[in-house]
Amino acid sequence: MAVCSVCGKGVKFGNQISHSHRRSNRTFKANLRHVTIKTEEGNKKCYVCTRCLRSEKVKRA
């Protein structure tokens, strides 16, 4: 599964609860984008969450 290369945010698991309070499993997926970022070695493609993109923790190429 994809994980943010900056903060490590990934998939979390929990319960989906219906109106009658029956529980079933569900996943909470991070909002990840496959972007090209600048690194010391050069440009690199990786997964970055939108919160890291918005807060400008990475520089896009």
Q: pTM of the prediction? A: 0.78
> How confident is the prediction along the chain (61 residues), in pLDDT tens digits per residue?
799 999 999 999 999 999 999 999 999 999 999 999 998 899 999 999 999 999 988 888 8
**Cα gap 40→57, rounded to integer Å:** 15
Residues 6 or more apart in contact with residue 56 via CB below 8 angstroms:
none
**Cα gap 33→12, rounded to integer Å:** 17
Residues paired with 24 in a beta bridge:
16
